[in-house]
Amino acid sequence: MPDSIRERLLQTILAALSAPGGPAGVTWHRSRTRPLAADDLPAGVLYVVEETTGIAGASDSLLARHLLTVRIESRAAGDPPDAALDAQLQWVVAQMCTDRRWGGLAANTIESKTTWTAEGIDEVYGAAAQEFLIDYLTLAADATSQG
């Protein structure tokens, strides 16, 4: 069975985040439950937060409009943590907003919010979670076909 439009979007986003030219040493992952030890930093994680779906157009439409919320967590060690994360955050916005349509897979991508956390153990570790809303269409009965 072919991948859904959602899965193709996520694969395309991960490839964009992993592309050459990004911040030095960052490894991007696709699992929110992946444990990242300090030795693995800097790192980033892409995952889906939620997706809402409705009818696109008339009530008898064969199209479904999806609003996918993806979160990209950037993690790094350094004090202050926001400065340690700055290059990753800039890279994420550049990659997410350069082609807001993802080669035609989506109608639009919008940066929604950023949430910051930090923790001091043996050194200061910071994380920032950026959320993006991706609007895309599929056939109502076929998530693998664009609408």
Q: Is residue 12 part of a domain?
A: yes
Task: Classify residue 42 as exposed, middle or buried by CB count within 10 Å of its CB (0-12, 13-18, 19+).
Answer: buried
Rounded to 5°, angle at Cα 98 from 103 and 10: 55
The token duo for 72 is: 């990209």
Residue ranges of the chain whose pLDDT lies below 70 = 36-39, 58-60
What is the per-residue pLDDT for 90? 97
Over the stretch 20-48, which tens digit does the pLDDT of each residue have? 999 999 999 998 777 766 668 999 999 99
The answer to whether residue 86 is domain-embedded is yes
d(CA 40, CA 48): 22
CATH number, domain at 34?
A: 3.30.70.1700
DSSP for 56-97 reads -SSTT-SEEEEEEEEEEEEEEE-SSHHHHHHHHHHHHHHHHH
Residue 49 lies in a domain: yes
Residue 146 covered by a domain: no
Number of domains composing the chain: 1
Q: Is 147 domain-assigned?
A: no
What is the pTM assigned to this prediction?
0.91
**Domain boundaries, position 10:** 5-141
At 2 the pLDDT is 83
Chain centroid, CA 127 distance in Å? 15
Q: What pLDDT is stored for residue 60 in this prediction?
A: 64
How high is the pLDDT of residue 40? 86
Tokens of 16: 């964009």
Q: Can you give the pLDDT at residue 33?
A: 75
